[in-house]
Amino acid sequence: MQKTHSAAMGPDQYIRLSQLSDHIQDTINARFKGQKYWVVADITNHSFKADKKIHYFELVEKSETGSAIAAKIMGKSWGTGALRILDFEITTGQRFTNNLHVLVQVSVDYHPLYGLSVNLLDIDSNFMLGILEKQRNETLARLVRENDYIWKEGEQYSTLNSRLKLPAVIQRIAVISSSSSAGNEDFRHTMLHNDFGYVFQIDDYHTVVQGDNNAKLFLNKLIDVYNTGIPYDAIVITRGGGSQSDFLIFDNYSIGRAVAKFPIPVITGIGHQKNVSITDMMAHTHTKTPTKAAEFIIAHNRSFEQSILALQRTIVIKSQQLFLGHYKELSRIKNAVSYNAAALAANHKKQLDQTREQIIRNSRAVLHENQKTLLVAAQHTLQGPKMLMVERKGELLQLRNAIKTFTNAYLRRQELTLEHHQKTVKMMSPQNILRKGYAIIKVKDAIASSAEGIKEGDDIEVILKDTRLISTVKEKIQYDGREPDL
């Protein structure tokens, strides 16, 4: 059965796409104009145009199993909304970026070119702070649950690292920090310009010390310190100021576990005032700033020095008392030592003189023997190059004669080949072929290679060895190359 085609539609039976978009926009505006909604969703595909201060992103809701997306809509934020995002980042310490679970206030918008989207007007910082605190508590609980060297004691945490004993004097230190960290400069300045003249050896291990996504880089640097095998007295982790989001790396589970298990005491001076990070809790000693970390080390060494000075004073007093009590015995022993030393020196002087003379004789014999060896080696060294030059000269003469012979033979072969080509070209020239009785036929000033284009009545030109014939075709007969039957 053949299909029938509908009649062409008239102008009153369709609308333009822009008209349909206008209808959609009017409908959405009528329904959602002036309406604001608080929505819980995840942030994905986020980008920020710094020059225009506009955020672009998608709001996504995942299914209960987390394996599929239940809903998704485009989003943007500028002006007041962008300022609310900035306040959110300052308050929570968390950058507005992908994979955040947020509570945001939005309005619905539709644009004929860009489609349906929402405008972010506000974001709830308390919602995120609750999530971050929950994540932090979950990380701490996991550290205690999965690692038997981490214990919770009241509100504090005891780790393998915190239970290490600091060396009596801290001198060789590994510092993990950013290469451009002002905090590291403060640490170094305080250490190197201390009031007590203490000398420290400080090795820098630079890495990224901000952003939870850089935790792997930081962890690798901690492993690098361990793999050096250098017996550091302490590891110092420093970082200067910055937004709270810069410190989230120090709440990372892997970094916290590594610090808790590290076999060298870890001292932190991360430089944030609001909270104590998980890394601080897992370390041996926590200080507020890089400068405070330096002051702690200096104070530790000063405490040791003061204990040594006190011990020195005690030793001096005890020594004086002991010396006074045994002065006579010491004098007798001194005289005995002086006498015995003089006698021993005289007794061994003769042996030392004999040994010296023996060394001189043996040295001369060794020098004479080595001199003869050097002379023989010098003769061989001088003769070797001359013999080598003679051999190489003979080889060069043979090579020159071989090249000359080969060149002459090659040129002769090329001359014979050229003569052969010249004879071939001469034999195949048109004049030579015409002299053999052949002819050239031209039709309309073009050489005819076959009779297909020639018809009866056409004028043709026949070119012989020394004659041009102008003829008219009277008859065209097919010819197969055999003699015709008579």
Q: Residue 119: which CATH number?
A: 2.40.50.140
Report if residue 238 sits inside a domain. Answer: yes
Nearest to 459 by CA among 324, 468, 428: 468
Model pTM score: 0.50
Task: Compute the half-sphere exposure of residue 266: CA atoms within 13 Å on the CB side of its CA.
Answer: 26
Does residue 288 sit in the same domain as residue 343?
no
Report if residue 143 sits inside a domain. Answer: no
Distance CA 93, CA 129 (A): 9
CA quadruple 90, 94, 98, 104: dihedral sign: negative
Q: Which of the residues in the chain have pLDDT under 50?
A: 1, 243, 486
Report if residue 254 sits inside a domain. Answer: yes
Could you say which of 398, 418, 446 is where a domain stops? 398
Could you say which of 303, 338, 370 is where a domain stops? 303
Average pLDDT over all residues of the chain: 85
Does residue 288 sit in the same domain as residue 351?
no
Residue 448 structure tokens? 């005819």
Report if residue 28 sits inside a domain. Answer: yes
Packed helices 125-146 and 80-92: angle between N→C axes, nearest 10 degrees: 30
DSSP tag of 36:
-
Does residue 288 sit in the same domain as residue 188?
yes
Report if residue 430 sits inside a domain. Answer: no
Does residue 51 sit in the same domain as residue 89?
yes
Does residue 187 sit in the same domain as residue 52?
no
Report if residue 481 sits inside a domain. Answer: no
Does residue 229 sit in the same domain as residue 331?
no
Does residue 200 sit in the same domain as residue 241?
yes
Distance CA 47, CA 97 (A): 8
Does residue 169 sit in the same domain as residue 74?
no
Give the domain extent around 115.
Answer: 17-123
Q: How many other CB atoms are there within 10 angstroms of residue 184's CB atom? A: 24
Distance CA 460, CA 454 (A): 9
Report if residue 133 sits inside a domain. Answer: no
- Whole-number pLDDT of residue 485: 57
- Whole-number pLDDT of residue 213: 63
- Whole-number pLDDT of residue 235: 96
Does residue 331 sit in the same domain as residue 223?
no
- Whole-number pLDDT of residue 303: 95
- Whole-number pLDDT of residue 243: 47
Could you say which of 102, 123, 144 is where a domain stops? 123
Does residue 92 sit in the same domain as residue 197?
no
Does residue 180 sit in the same domain as residue 258?
yes
Domains held by the chain: number: 4
Report if residue 11 sits inside a domain. Answer: no
Residue 322 structure tokens? 């002991």
Does residue 26 sit in the same domain as residue 99?
yes
Q: Residue 291: which CATH number?
A: 3.40.50.280
